[in-house]
């Protein structure tokens, strides 16, 4: 069986590493061809993940980055179609909700190649988010839908998608966190910063278009992080999009702004933290995996079970609310985490389902 894996963004490299290991464990039963669209092209957002997670180097690199959502997706479609015509795979595997996901799913569907969507069925019910459009459309052209949670199964059923091709497997990011946390040691720079902070630090990330493309929202969030850093250590790995959108913003000396971190450094920083502030779906879950409370810098989340269970709180971009909730919630002991995302064997279940199909 030949599978073309389409990746392009930071979270997809983490998820793909799980499946690549699972494919390799089956010997020669599966041949994986990795296509990197180029959506995240900064070395700190791409190369470091392939190196530290031992993800096989891409067989094809499309070099598509920048431009509007439509322009980027269109260029990816054109180049992916050529790759798929050359490779003629049995399956195209896509992850999550990025432009790379949508382009991979559409290119395969138009060529009548079966699509498998990992992390299917998630919904924020906010169609203003590009990610929501991408994940909905990918689900509706997929032949196998690998869902991480019972809520995701219900979301798909409400849209008329049900049957044996909807496969509950758990969350591949839980697989990754379990595997790599056992291997992770901090780089010297991260180790030194954690030692200097004296413990109890907070981890913050901001990258969603709804925040970076709205100057008022971005100013409120960055202002809140600065306010919080006056009383407790905050580290902010700054996404290239956010850095560009922030323009002449000058962070206060108390806010530790760093370049984007690799996955292993992120895990180390997260494990030692008192909590997380983020608009990232992946980091919301990683906070949960390590028992850390999380403030979600959005008005809704596709990971609704985290909010329902009291593990995360939605705070939007309200500066005063972010500061207030950080003081009240971050650092709290959440107790033993329930098994919301499976048992860490999602990758194995996905491989088994592909081989059966």
The pLDDT, as a whole number, for residue 41 is 65
CB 5 within 8 A of CB 31: no
Catalytic pick among 36, 40, 60, 207 = 207
Which tens digit of pLDDT belongs to each residue from 41-53? 665 556 777 888 8
The pLDDT confidence band at residue 303, using thresholds 50, 70 and 90, is very high
Over residues 214-255, the pLDDT tens digits come to 999 999 999 999 999 999 999 999 998 899 999 989 999 999
CATH number 3.40.50.2000 is the correct assignment for the domain at 2-171+342-356: yes
- pLDDT tens, position by position, 159-211: 999 999 999 999 999 999 999 999 899 999 999 888 888 878 999 999 999 99
Going 161 to 127 to 16 to 271, the CA torsion angle's sign is: negative
Determine whether 207 is an active site residue: yes
Q: Stretch 3-10: mean pLDDT, rounded?
A: 94
Compute CA distances 94 → 90, 115, 249, whole Å.
Answer: 13, 7, 36
| Max CA distance (Å), the chain | 57
Least confident of 91-95, 246-250, 302-306: 246-250
> Which one is the CATH code of 188-329: 3.90.470.20, 3.40.50.1700, 3.40.50.2000, 3.40.50.2020?
3.40.50.2000
Structural domain spans, the chain: 2-171+342-356, 188-329
Q: Give the strands of the sheet with 114-118, arranged side by side.
A: 60-61, 31-36, 2-7, 91-95, 114-118, 144-147, 166-168
């Amino acid at each position: 069986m030949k599978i073309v894996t389409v990746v392009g963004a930071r979270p997809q490299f983490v998820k793909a590493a799980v499946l690549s290991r699972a494919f390799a464990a089956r010997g020669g039963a599966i041949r994986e061809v990795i296509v990197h669209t180029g959506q995240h092209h900064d070395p700190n957002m791409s190369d470091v993940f392939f190196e530290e997670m031992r993800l096989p180097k891409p067989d094809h690199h499309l070099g598509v980055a920048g431009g509007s959502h439509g322009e980027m997706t269109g260029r990816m479609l054109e180049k992916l179609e050529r790759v798929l015509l050359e490779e003629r795979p049995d399956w195209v595997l896509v992850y999550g909700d990025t432009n790379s996901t949508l382009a991979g799913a559409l290119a395969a569907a138009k060529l009548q190649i079966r699509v498998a969507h990992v992390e299917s069925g998630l919904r924020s019910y906010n169609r203003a988010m590009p990610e929501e459009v991408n994940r909905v459309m990918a689900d509706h052209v997929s032949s196998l839908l690998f869902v991480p949670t019972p809520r995701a199964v219900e979301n798909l059923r409400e849209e008329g998608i049900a049957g044996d091709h909807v496969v509950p497997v758990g969350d591949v990011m839980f697989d990754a966190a379990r595997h790599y946390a056992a291997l992770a040691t901090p780089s010297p720079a991260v180790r030194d910063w954690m030692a200097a902070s004296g413990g109890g630090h907070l981890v913050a990330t901001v990258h969603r278009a709804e925040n970076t493309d709205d100057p008022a929202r971005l100013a409120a969030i960055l202002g809140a992080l600065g306010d919080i850093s006056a009383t407790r250590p905050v580290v902010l790995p700054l996404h290239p999009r956010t850095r560009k959108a922030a323009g002449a913003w000058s962070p206060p000396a108390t806010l530790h702004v760093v370049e984007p971190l690799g996955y292993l450094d992120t895990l180390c920083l997260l494990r030692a933290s008192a909590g997380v502030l983020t608009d990232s779906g992946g980091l919301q879950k990683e906070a949960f995996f390590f028992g850390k409370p999380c403030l979600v810098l959005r008005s809704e989340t596709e990971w609704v079970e985290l909010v329902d269970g009291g593990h995360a709180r939605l705070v939007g971009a309200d500066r005063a609310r972010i500061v207030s909730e950080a003081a009240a919630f971050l650092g709290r002991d959440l107790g033993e985490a329930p098994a919301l995302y499976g048992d860490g064997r999602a990758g194995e279940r996905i491989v088994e389902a592909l081989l059966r199909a």
